[in-house]
Each structure stands twice: as C-alpha cells, then as structure tokens.
Amino acid sequence: MRTLHVELGERSYPIYIGAGILNTLGELSAKHGLTRKSPHLIVTDDQVAPHYLAQVEEQLKSEGYTVISHIVPSGESSKSLQVYEEVMTTAINGKLDRSSAVFALGGGVVGDLAGFVAATYMRGVTFVQIPTTILAHDSSVGGKVAVNHPLAKNMIGAFHQPVMVVYDVNTLMSLPPREVSSGLAEMVKHGLILDRDFAYWCRENGSKLLSLEPEALIYGLERGCAIKADVVSQDEREGGLRAILNLGHTIGHAIEAVGGYGRFLHGEAIAIGMAGSARLAEKLGRPADLHNETVSMLKAVNLPVTLPDDVSVDRIMDAMQHDKKFAEGQMVFIVPESIGSVSIVKDVPVEAVRSVVEQLKGEG
C-alpha cells in the first residue's frame, strides 16, 4: 500500500493507494478515529453497488461499525438537489449525528454528491472517499464537492476535505475501456501542466495503463494525485494557482454542455479541450510542436483530439460565455508554455478561441 499525504494544515489527509486495500477499510477507519457509537452512511450508485457495496459494508461491520447505505442512479442526473435531499432524508432517518461519517463509494458523481452531503449535514460531518474510477483520482483530491443547478453544473457546493481516501485499484478492473481512457485524460493533464517527465511517461506507458496493469496504474495514480495535491496545498480555495488545473476545461465544459452531458465523457471533452489549448498556445506565440506533442500523448491513451463534424462552433462559443471561469467578465485561458508548464492568460481574444474551435472541427 502506498500512502500520499495531501498537506492542508489541520485539514491534511492521506490517500492510500494499492491493490486489494478495501480489505483494510475498517482498520483504516478506526485508525482515523471514526466512532463506533454513531451510525455511518455509505453513498454509492447502482452500477457500483452490485460489485463492492456488500464488501464495504461487511468490512466496516466486522470492525464493529454500524452502517446504512443509500444507492443513487448512476450518472450526472444524481448530482441534483432532489437526490441530495433524498440522501439527507436517509441520513436523518438513520439517525446520523455530528460524529457520523459519510463514505462516497464510486466515481466523481458519487464523490461530489456524498461530499456535499458530508459538507452540509448538521453543518458538516466526516467524509471518506473510496474512488472506483480513474477519473476520481482527480476529483478525490482537493475537496471540491457540488451538485448541479438546472441552469449550470457545479453551481452549488463547498470545499470539504475528506479525512482519508482509500483507492483500491482492484475496483478499476471492471471499468469499460471508454471510462478508462476518460480517467487517463486527467492523469495526462497533470503531466502536461507541471511534470514533463510524467507526461512522457504516460505516453510511453499508454498501453499498460489502458490494460490496467496494476504497477503502472498505481504509479500513475500516485503521481497524478501528488501533482494535484501539490497545487491544492498551495491554493486550497481556488484563489489563483489552482486555476492551472483547468487546462482544457473551458473548451471541454462547453463540449460537454453542447453534447448534453451524455455524448462525451468528461475526459474525452477535456482531451479535445487540451488539444485546443495547445493550438491556442501556438497562436499566441508558444513553441510550434506543442499541438503535435499534446495530441500524441492523448492518442496514446485512446482519447479523441478533434471535434465531430456535426458539432456547431456557434453553440460551443455560446456555451463558453456561461462558463464560471470568466470571473468579472474577463476571458481567462490556461495556455501551455511547453510540455509540463502552463500559464494563466487573461483577456484571450474571443476570435482566437473561435478560430481554434473551428480548427478542432476541421481536423475531424
């Protein structure tokens, strides 16, 4: 088992990564001071529950814990205020108190939803993350939790750090190939923004990662989490530096929105977005091989790097105007300087962005 520490002062916490470590969940819970006097709540979804819920419940019960579970439908639609209220109802009926914990067993949706429940139930209780996707290596570091408002994603949320993350790579073995690639998009992104060697390592080890070879997976997740943890430690509440984590996300979020949040997976959309950011960088005078190199890294883990023909450039541009990263009306982009280094550029001309989106389509 590998242990990575996220340094956030009194809110610091460890990420445990390994194969088969779900079998130590009860022990780890005791180590982190979870009380046996109060009930705890496991939130999961109907895709994950059949595989791992019984195991997690048994593990905690065998260590003397009382647990109840709430299963939500899998998918983004569960990040709604309505499902949030239903989970709250289960927590109240289950008599959770201020010493209780909420466990998120699943991917990003479950983590965001259960995390926001933990952040706000009785004004905040203990939160434990058990990610079951590769994508969640990103969302489980940094404490950003949220649900969606019908008008916009992630508008309602909080910063609420877990007390621990238990990352058992065995839970990743049943992921469909598209989900694997989608998750690897954030891993490659962590290399692209801050670690040139890691970016090239991802490219070289693309096929091992795609086939979920444990050693490569554990190294990749640990390094990916470590890079993100490093950024978050320096800017917990997203005041400045943390924005670099949004490489590819401005265009990516617009692609997700225009696709109706079903057509493109998150990682697919941001992969296309990162290809776009590299094109934008070249337009703004950065080295001319950035796009080729970025695209080769993304292709190494089977990610798309162009927009399908039928996607409207106008709708992508419209969707970007609603992106919440335009603080105070300014258009901000994360632009690569070289592989492993980015900068935050304010006042990027809208026309340059439009031209990039047109190019992304033209190449498809």
**Enzyme catalytic residues:** 123, 144, 186, 228, 238, 242, 246, 249, 253, 266
Ligand-binding annotation for 165, yes or no, is: no
Q: Residue 36 carries which DSSP code?
A: S
CA atoms 284, 240, 328, 156: torsion sign: positive
Q: Measured from the CB of residue 323, what is the shortest distance to its own copies in angstroms?
A: 11
Instruction: Considering the complex, state which of residue 46 and residue 238 has its C-beta at the smaller distance from its own copies.
Output: 238
Ligand-binding annotation for 77, yes or no, is: yes
Ligand-binding annotation for 144, yes or no, is: yes
Distance of alpha carbon 200 from alpha carbon 195, whole angstroms: 9
Phi, psi of 34 (to 5 degrees): -65, 130
Ligand-binding annotation for 7, yes or no, is: no
Q: Measured from the CB of residue 38, what is the shortest distance to its own copies in angstroms?
A: 5
Which among 292, 309, 267, 215 has a CA at the least distance from the CA of 108?
Answer: 267
Q: Measured from the CB of residue 118, what is the shortest distance to its own copies in angstroms?
A: 11
Residues comprising the chain, all counted: 364
Helix (H, G, I), strand (E, B) or coil at 288: coil
Find the farthest-apart pair of alpha carbons in the chain and give their distance in angstroms, rounded. Answer: 61
Q: Measured from the CB of residue 32, what is the shortest distance to its own copies in angstroms?
A: 17
Which among 262, 364, 361 has a CA at the least distance from the CA of 316?
Answer: 361
Distance of alpha carbon 95 from alpha carbon 324, whole angstroms: 37
Residues of this chain that bind its own copies (CB under 8 A): 35, 37-38, 81, 85, 88-89, 92-93, 97-99, 119-124, 144, 146, 149-152, 155-159, 237-238, 324, 326-329
Ligand-binding annotation for 112, yes or no, is: yes
Instruction: Considering the complex, state which of residue 80 and residue 296 has its C-beta at the smaller distance from its own copies.
Output: 80
| Binding-site residue positions for Zn(2+) | 186, 249, 266
Give the annotated binding-site residues.
74-79, 108-112, 132-133, 144, 153, 186, 249, 266
